[in-house]
Amino acid sequence: MKLHPGRGRRILWTALLIAGVLYAGVVAFMYAYQGKLLYPGSAAGERPGAVGLTDVVEVQIRTDDGLSLLAWWLPPPQGRAAVLYFHGNAGTLADRADKFRQFAAGGYGLLMPAYRGYSGNAGTPAQDRLVEDAATAARWLAKEAPGVPVVYFGESLGGSVALHLSLRSSPKAIVTEGAFDSAAQLAQARYPVLPAALLIRDKWDSVKVAPQVPAPVLVLHGRHDRVVPLAHGERLFAALREPKRLVVVEAGGHVDLFDHGAAKSVMAWLESKGL
What does the pLDDT profile of the chain (275 residues) look like in tens digits?
A: 454 556 656 655 555 555 455 444 444 445 554 556 678 889 988 999 999 999 999 999 999 999 999 999 999 999 999 999 999 988 999 999 999 999 999 999 999 999 999 999 999 999 999 999 999 999 999 999 999 999 999 999 999 999 999 999 889 999 999 999 987 787 676 666 556 556 677 889 999 999 999 999 999 999 999 999 999 999 999 999 999 999 999 999 999 999 999 999 999 999 999 99
- The pLDDT, as a whole number, for residue 26 is 44
Q: How far apart are CA 134 and CA 140, in angstroms?
A: 10
* CB 252, CB 221: distance < 8 Å: yes
Its pTM stands at 0.89
Alpha helices in the chain (DSSP H): 5-32, 34-38, 97-105, 127-144, 157-166, 183-190, 196-199, 206-209, 230-239, 262-272
**Measuring CA to CA, how many Å separate 146 from each of 79, 81, 103, 132, 138?**
11, 11, 20, 20, 11
Domain ranges (residues) in the chain: 1-32, 48-272
At residue 182, the pLDDT reads 87
> In the prediction, which pLDDT does 195 show?
60
Q: Which of 3.40.50.1820, 3.10.620.30, 3.40.1280.10, 3.40.50.10800 is the CATH number of 48-272?
A: 3.40.50.1820
